[in-house]
Amino acid sequence: MSREQIVAGAADMIRRRGLNATSIREVAKHAGTPLGSTYHYFPGGKNQLATEAVRLSAEIVTRVLDKKLRQGPAEGVRAFFGLWREVVAGTDFQAGCPVVAVAVEEAAHPEALAASAEAFRAWSRQLAESLEQHGVEARRAAQLATLVVGAAEGAVVMCRAQRSIQPLDDVAAELTALLESVISART
């Protein structure tokens, strides 16, 4: 089983149960590799594994965003919400965002926390740049981008707790409307 599959498995477990409930033992078992091998690939232990899991998850979202934002910020935001909707609904409300899970449980894994911060920053910046390219003033674009990322992440948490997709859909509806009005005003 390849190294990246171990990381992907770890990311999946983290987004479902959280970081602390994800043991390296279980990650190894899930990947079909012995415990010792896992430590051979990840000498940094749990910290390293969590960090790479966050980075991998962040990159997947970044790539989708990068592609969709070429069709404009509205399309990018739609895709961003679509991604989270798929994760939450596709796992029967079992999974959320691994970046959030790591950020909430911080503590003994500083590098993983830094990777979380970087993920949020990367997504926000992508959205903000796209908004700027469509005429939104820089400060406002940054604010709106943060709002989109924060609201989506918060809505994912609410959806899982309430076992309903409605929070995500509600938030997506409000934000797409808001962004459309902001962009059309500047066009």
Which residues are near a second copy by CB under 8 A? 16-21, 94, 96, 99-101, 103-107, 113, 116-117, 120-121, 142-144, 146-147, 149-155, 157-158, 160-163, 166-167, 170-171, 173-175, 178
- CB of residue 76 vs a second copy: minimum separation in angstroms? 17
- Calpha distance 8→172 (Å, rounded): 27
Assess 26 for contact with DNA (CB under 7 A): yes
- CB of residue 37 vs a second copy: minimum separation in angstroms? 25
| Nearer of residues 37 and 176 to DNA, judged by Cβ | 37
Assess 33 for contact with DNA (CB under 7 A): yes
Assess 37 for contact with DNA (CB under 7 A): yes
Stretch that binds DNA, among 42-50, 94-102, 114-122, 138-146 (CB under 7 A): 42-50
- CB of residue 8 vs DNA: minimum separation in angstroms? 17
- Calpha distance 164→167 (Å, rounded): 7
Print the SS3 string covering the chain: CCHHHHHHHHHHHHHHHCCCCCCHHHHHHHHCCCHHHHHHHCCCHHHHHHHHHHHHHHHHHHHHHHHHHHHCHHHHHHHHHHHHHHHHHHCCCCCCCHHHHHHHHCCCCHHHHHHHHHHHHHHHHHHHHHHHHCCCCHHHHHHHHHHHHHHHHHHHHHHHHHCCCHHHHHHHHHHHHHHHHHHHHHC
- CB of residue 180 vs DNA: minimum separation in angstroms? 45
Residue 101 touches which of DNA, a second copy, none (Cβ within 5-8 Å per kind): a second copy
Q: 65 to each of 56, 61, 177, how far by Cα in Å?
A: 14, 6, 19
| Nearer of residues 17 and 30 to a second copy, judged by Cβ | 17
> Residue from 46, 68, 85, 160 that binds DNA (CB under 7 A)?
46
Binding residues for DNA, rule: CB under 7 A, are 22-26, 33-37, 39-40, 43, 45-47
